[in-house]
Amino acid sequence: MPVAPLVRRRKPGYSLEAPFYLSDEVFAADLETIWARHWIHVGVEADVPQPGDYNVVGFGRYSVVIVRGADGVVRAFHNVCRHRGARIINDERGSAAKLVCGYHRWTYDLSGPLVFAEHLSPDVERNCLGLKPVHLRSLSGLLFMCLADDPPADFSEMEEIVRPYLDPHDLRNCKIAKQEDVVVAGNWKAVMENNRECYHCGGHPELLKIFFQFFAHTEADVKPRQRAYYERYRRIQAEMVDIWEKNRLPWDLVELLEGRPTAFRLERLALDNHGESYTVDTRVASKRLLGRFQNPRLGALSLHTQPNSWNHFLSDHAVIFDILPITTETTLLRTKWLVHKDAVEGADYDLQNLTQVWRTTNGQDATFVRWQQLGVSSPAYEPGPFSPNENQVEKFLGWYIDRMAEGTPAN
Amino acid sequence: MPVAPLVRRRKPGYSLEAPFYLSDEVFAADLETIWARHWIHVGVEADVPQPGDYNVVGFGRYSVVIVRGADGVVRAFHNVCRHRGARIINDERGSAAKLVCGYHRWTYDLSGPLVFAEHLSPDVERNCLGLKPVHLRSLSGLLFMCLADDPPADFSEMEEIVRPYLDPHDLRNCKIAKQEDVVVAGNWKAVMENNRECYHCGGHPELLKIFFQFFAHTEADVKPRQRAYYERYRRIQAEMVDIWEKNRLPWDLVELLEGRPTAFRLERLALDNHGESYTVDTRVASKRLLGRFQNPRLGALSLHTQPNSWNHFLSDHAVIFDILPITTETTLLRTKWLVHKDAVEGADYDLQNLTQVWRTTNGQDATFVRWQQLGVSSPAYEPGPFSPNENQVEKFLGWYIDRMAEGTPAN
Amino acid sequence: MPVAPLVRRRKPGYSLEAPFYLSDEVFAADLETIWARHWIHVGVEADVPQPGDYNVVGFGRYSVVIVRGADGVVRAFHNVCRHRGARIINDERGSAAKLVCGYHRWTYDLSGPLVFAEHLSPDVERNCLGLKPVHLRSLSGLLFMCLADDPPADFSEMEEIVRPYLDPHDLRNCKIAKQEDVVVAGNWKAVMENNRECYHCGGHPELLKIFFQFFAHTEADVKPRQRAYYERYRRIQAEMVDIWEKNRLPWDLVELLEGRPTAFRLERLALDNHGESYTVDTRVASKRLLGRFQNPRLGALSLHTQPNSWNHFLSDHAVIFDILPITTETTLLRTKWLVHKDAVEGADYDLQNLTQVWRTTNGQDATFVRWQQLGVSSPAYEPGPFSPNENQVEKFLGWYIDRMAEGTPAN
């Protein structure tokens, strides 16, 4: 099915036509146009804390190794040997002095050049056989990569805006307490749509102990039965603004989702009950707060970047979500929980308590996405109307369609 | 591979060319032309005995929910939410007051209309967002659905002819004692072909205790070694005709397989040995006979409907077989054993005894079909000649080819 | 992706472009052009030692039964019933008086003709319904088949050259001590490339106890660190030449890999340490030597045939490797260990000792091939340069490209 007409005829305000979730041609176009040309959130510096540490990420058929050099700089390379194409790194993470292909021992420096290849003919120009680099940027400790030769320049603008919000959480002094990978049985866009609305949050009872259901709702979306709940939300939000101001934490909503390759959204959120953290009792999960924070009750800084991440930064920990397309109908959802690098498991934090709310929520979302993927597979499916509280889904899709329209040759 | 030329050049009297079993294009055409435009046997009223009971059926990528309304009427709907396309019912059977999509709680009345969708914009016309209906008919308790807007009109003719045969077995007062689903590793047509002949019945020793091997044979097909067996068959058949006449059970062979969309075949069969039922000892499996039957020895009423079912109605139970294509090379074979709704398991019938003969036979047939599917996959395969006792296979294929020729645009 | 341009633009001295490993179109062309028109190594006479013994082999969607007739002649037939196409033999090996299709009992003589088909219409010409034959040749006990109507005539030349080398090992008086099948996660050409060089032999420490790493190396390829190892190799090689001469074993290198359909390579190799056999202690695995051998230390005769086998013949056993493509990205690697037919397991040989070195090596190679298949899947892969000691890989690919160029219609 040709992709361009599908993109052109997309009806705003409605869910996408079925081929966007089912067609291998659309998936290939997504990889080429969205994933290979935009800044993709791929992890955190804490994935590779020491020189020689590496971490492999991939989507579609791409595999990329992220590695911290002897000079402390984090770089990214295609995980493909320049000899006969073997995958060089075949575990997910590890540490090495050099990157050595296991097949014929071709050996690359952590910064890319080929430094050893026995038997190579002297006619061959070794200098041209270094690992192929991939653009990599760290934004206050969040890693973004771009496969294109000329990555979108507006990354710098995002960086400038996001840094003051993010720096107080001091991500560079965090460690990964836990990573969880879930293979979701749905197209990557269905996974992202699911994340962009809280219309379905009735299906997340654990999350709603702490997260207010009014994400992306306007006052008009509040139902009579929710009135008291909404009043509490407004009251707590007002309290939090005072706290944020007192702590000099920027809290203005930033939403730059349209008309730009590097799209993102930044919001500081009030949280319910004790309002401290994404835990079952809504108290902090880690006694060791991040950065210089004294007050455990700071709500959550929420950062969404398109096409593939959402992140929550709290007083005591951060939760980082990346999605990575595997096939047309499967997507990897990778979640990382970060705590202060000096926090001690068992003493300062309990892993179960730290991870429980979002692990449960991830499982529920994986089910919702699977149901959607199954349903749109039916030839009887036709796009349905979004409600006002799904405006962020519409914005994600609007961005997606714009980017595809720009990047897809007419056919 | 274009489908039309394959259909056009099919050589009567010979098995089909390989692409009919292997090509995804033919499979897509089968779904569109045969499965989406004809009456498909999908179950029995006993699948949904009470208001609110539902049962999900599917083939290809279609999913349909069959549900009995508060008014007692059984209806069918596409199992796809009108909002963002989620599959609404995700278990196979159950009971509910309303059909509620688990994603955003859109709620549909059992008769289809959308009755609740919180947050929906007032601009949206709710009346247009009911579940998409699928035509459904009950023939003496057997359920047939048709996905087309205008289903074939000749269903009524089938109904008129079949009802007098079927009504005495009183299917509407039956319950499902057991359902068994088998995924057969073969194209749906190979499964149907397998069912349409008893040339292979030497591979069903358990079945042959009760079923005469002469299905679709003429006297000319009877081999010398079978002479005594054939004489017994003729003698018992004559006895049964007397019994059928005495019980006022219509028994004329009806075969309407050609030149019509809704094709079927009806035959009342004499059974071997005690001749009562499809059990190991050929006696009834259930003490509680169906309808008003007094005599356990009534032979079997056999009803075959194209494209996808065969059914056996006895004095004490019924066995209902549907086949449902899953992929080009896999097919669901669904078998249901029905007994009188008041029959008590353990007292009136033993489940193992009730189901053993056909469960064994299904397993044997699944193996035969798998062998055929594997064999026709070889590029060395070429269609071979049918024998006279495979005339029902030829009739099934003749009907299939005719329907495809009519429904497939030339290409 | 059209195959012809890929074949035409292949750059000698470099690994193949990615579609050669990934594209289903190329795989189909490989099956049609290489596999269905060349002599394929499929086993040994010891697979079917007695009349009535059969052995099923296959690649792609082909299935072929190799069977020894009542007359002692080994033949090959497509494993497809001429009736409705069922696969006739559904186990891998066995013994039978006739080949009987399990579906409708059509029965074929071991030499092919249809000898029994009940119910067949008298109009049908039974003589035209024998099993479809496949060309089969035995070269000193090694079996080769060709699916083409007119197989390459140069098989006879190979036979004439190879026979004097092979006959002393007396394969026809061997039995199969063990067969091992490994599904390798790589295209068949990647499996073959892996076998054609010892650049990667550092990854086979067990093999290097016995196999000199200098396969396909010239003296220029010997690295300074290998100097003493190389001197030992040269010294032992000189000793072995004396032994081969004394035993009248031909040992001239024969390499006929270019400009011919039936390509092969023959080399008698010196082995390291005790130099007797491919075992952990480099001593013979079987006390009962092959043929009339007296001296256990005969090195190894290595026979490679294109497109799909390599074989090692020792004083006490033989190891036979066939590769058989399953799908574009999977390949069956089948290894057989043969010992003298009178050798007694437990007394004359220990199965673990006989098989350990190559089972370990196979596992390592399967990993290397998987890494390569994964790596070339990345869109970032580009062909890299072969080194001089990969000249046999280049020769295999040169032969493959030539054969494809000749056999593929320009498109």
Distance between the two ends of chain A, CA-based, in angstroms? 10
- Among C117, C151, C185, which residue terminates a domain? C151
For residue A133, whether the previous peptide bond is cis, meaning omega lies within 30 degrees of 0, is no
Whether C203 has a pLDDT exceeding 70, the answer reads yes
Average pLDDT, rounded, for chain A: 97
Instruction: Examine residue C10 and state whether it is found in any structural domain, yes or no.
Output: no
Alpha helices in C18-152 (DSSP H): 19-22, 24-29
C contact chains, 3+ CB pairs < 8 A: A, B
Between CA C387 and CA A104 the distance in angstroms is 11
Between CA A166 and CA A153 the distance in angstroms is 21
CA C213 to chain centre: 21
Task: Give the residue numbers spanning the domain of C375.
Answer: 156-407
Instruction: Examine residue C323 and state whether it is found in any structural domain, yes or no.
Output: yes
Contact A388 B124 (CB under 8 A): no
Please check whether residue C291 is in contact with residue C313, taking contact to mean a CB–CB distance below 8 angstroms.
no
| Together in a domain, A47 and A130 | yes
Between CA C263 and CA C256 the distance in angstroms is 6
Which of A381, A389, A394 best probes binding to B when mutated, by most B CB atoms within 10 angstroms? A381
| Together in a domain, B320 and B245 | yes
- Structure confidence at residue A409 (pLDDT): 65
Looking at the DSSP bridge assignments, the partners of residue C53 are C95
- Structure confidence at residue A380 (pLDDT): 98
- Structure confidence at residue C345 (pLDDT): 98
* Burial class of residue C93 (count of CB atoms within 10 Å of its CB; 0-12, 13-18, 19+): middle
Interface of C with B (CB under 8 A): 36, 60-63, 78-88, 90, 102-105, 117-121, 124, 129, 132
Q: What is the pLDDT of residues B162-203, one digit of tens each?
A: 999 999 999 999 999 999 999 999 999 999 999 999 999 999
DSSP of B360-400: HHHHHHHHHHHHHHHHHTSTT----BPPGGGHHHHHHHHHH
Instruction: Tally the domains of chain C.
Output: 2
Share of chain A above pLDDT 70, in %: 99
| Together in a domain, B256 and B181 | yes
- Under the banding of pLDDT at 50, 70 and 90, the label for residue C410 is low
Which among A31, A38, A398 has a CA at the least distance from the CA of A188?
A31
Which residues of chain C neighbour A63 with C-beta distances below 8 Å? 374-375, 378
- Structure confidence at residue B1 (pLDDT): 77
| Together in a domain, A226 and A343 | yes
Mutual angle of helices B351-376 and B188-195, in 10-degree steps: 120
Which among B241, B249, B275 has a CA at the least distance from the CA of B166?
B249
- Among C132, C151, C170, which residue terminates a domain? C151
- Structure confidence at residue C14 (pLDDT): 98
Which residues of chain C neighbour A82 with C-beta distances below 8 Å? 382, 384
Contact C380 A36 (CB under 8 A): no
- Structure confidence at residue B407 (pLDDT): 86
| Together in a domain, C117 and C197 | no
Whether B408 has a pLDDT exceeding 80, the answer reads no
What radius of gyration do chain B's Cα atoms show? Answer: 22
| Together in a domain, C118 and C184 | no
Instruction: Examine residue A81 and state whether it is found in any structural domain, yes or no.
Output: yes
Q: What is the pLDDT of residues A380-410, one digit of tens each?
A: 999 999 999 999 999 999 999 999 999 876 5
Whether C402 has a pLDDT exceeding 60, the answer reads yes
Q: What is the pLDDT of residues B3-49, one digit of tens each?
A: 999 999 999 999 999 999 999 999 999 999 999 999 999 999 999 99
- Structure confidence at residue A410 (pLDDT): 59
Which among C151, C158, C205, C164 has a CA at the least distance from the CA of C360?
C205
| Together in a domain, B253 and B225 | yes
Contact B62 A385 (CB under 8 A): no
| Together in a domain, C230 and C145 | no
Average pLDDT, rounded, for chain B: 97
Which of B64, B65, B84, B92 best probes binding to A when mutated, by most A CB atoms within 10 angstroms? B84
Which among A48, A88, A44 has a CA at the least distance from the CA of C380?
A88
| Together in a domain, C140 and C271 | no
- Under the banding of pLDDT at 50, 70 and 90, the label for residue C1 is confident
Which among B346, B411, B388 has a CA at the least distance from the CA of B3?
B411
Q: How far is C129 from chain B (nearest CA, A)?
A: 8
CB count within 10 Å of CB C407 equals 16
H/E stretch holding C393: helix C391-407
Question: For residue B122, what is the domain's CATH number?
Answer: 2.102.10.10
Please check whether residue C111 is in contact with residue C71, taking contact to mean a CB–CB distance below 8 angstroms.
yes
Distance between the two ends of chain B, CA-based, in angstroms? 10
Place of tokens 């256990």: C296
Whether A195 has a pLDDT exceeding 90, the answer reads yes
Share of chain C above pLDDT 90, in %: 96
Please check whether residue C227 is in contact with residue C217, taking contact to mean a CB–CB distance below 8 angstroms.
no
DSSP of A164-199: HHHGGG-GGGEEEEEEEEEEESS-HHHHHHHHT--T
Between CA C11 and CA C44 the distance in angstroms is 37
Which among B67, B69, B65, B111 has a CA at the least distance from the CA of B86?
B65
Q: What is the pLDDT of residues A360-372, one digit of tens each?
A: 999 999 999 999 9
Which of A80, A83, A84 best probes binding to C when mutated, by most C CB atoms within 10 angstroms? A84
- Among B151, B168, B203, which residue terminates a domain? B151
Mutual angle of helices A188-195 and A391-407, in 10-degree steps: 140
Residue A227 gets the label, from left (phi > 0), alpha (psi -120 to 50) or beta, of alpha
| Together in a domain, B144 and B193 | no
- Structure confidence at residue A407 (pLDDT): 86
- Structure confidence at residue B79 (pLDDT): 98
CB count within 10 Å of CB B9 equals 8
Q: What is the pLDDT of residues A150-183, one digit of tens each?
A: 999 999 999 999 999 999 999 999 999 999 999 9
Between CA C211 and CA C207 the distance in angstroms is 6
Between CA C89 and CA C77 the distance in angstroms is 11
Instruction: Examine residue A157 and state whether it is found in any structural domain, yes or no.
Output: no
Instruction: Examine residue A181 and state whether it is found in any structural domain, yes or no.
Output: yes
Instruction: Examine residue C104 and state whether it is found in any structural domain, yes or no.
Output: yes
Count of A-C CB contacts under 8 Å:
85
- Structure confidence at residue C408 (pLDDT): 72
H/E stretch holding A403: helix A391-407
- Mean pLDDT, rounded, for A191-211: 97
Question: For residue C329, what is the domain's CATH number?
Answer: 3.90.380.10
Whether A411 has a pLDDT exceeding 60, the answer reads no
Instruction: Examine residue B23 and state whether it is found in any structural domain, yes or no.
Output: no
Average pLDDT, rounded, for chain C: 97
For B258-306, list the strands marked E by DSSP.
264-269, 300-305
- Weakest-pLDDT range from B219-223, B303-307, C12-16: B219-223
**Can you read off the two tokens belonging to residue B383?**
């269609």
| Together in a domain, B315 and B378 | yes
Contact C223 A90 (CB under 8 A): no
Instruction: Examine residue B323 and state whether it is found in any structural domain, yes or no.
Output: yes
Contact A103 C203 (CB under 8 A): yes
DSSP of A94-134: EE-SSEE-TTT--EE-TTS-EEE-TT--TTS-GGGGSPPEE
Nearest to A199 among B82, B119, B121 (CB): B119
Whether A1 has a pLDDT exceeding 80, the answer reads no
Which residues does C93 contact at the CB level (< 8 Å), separation at least 6?
C47, C53, C54, C55, C56
Own/partner pairs, B252-257, CB within 8 angstroms, 24+ separation? B254/B161, B255/B395, B256/B158, B256/B161, B257/B306, B257/B395, B257/B396, B257/B398, B257/B399
Please check whether residue B50 is in contact with residue B57, taking contact to mean a CB–CB distance below 8 angstroms.
no
Whether C409 has a pLDDT exceeding 70, the answer reads no
| Together in a domain, A131 and A243 | no
- Structure confidence at residue C407 (pLDDT): 86
Place of tokens 């679709």: B216
CB count within 10 Å of CB B99 equals 24
Which residues of chain B neighbour C62 with C-beta distances below 8 Å? 378-380
Contact B200 C104 (CB under 8 A): yes
* Burial class of residue C347 (count of CB atoms within 10 Å of its CB; 0-12, 13-18, 19+): exposed
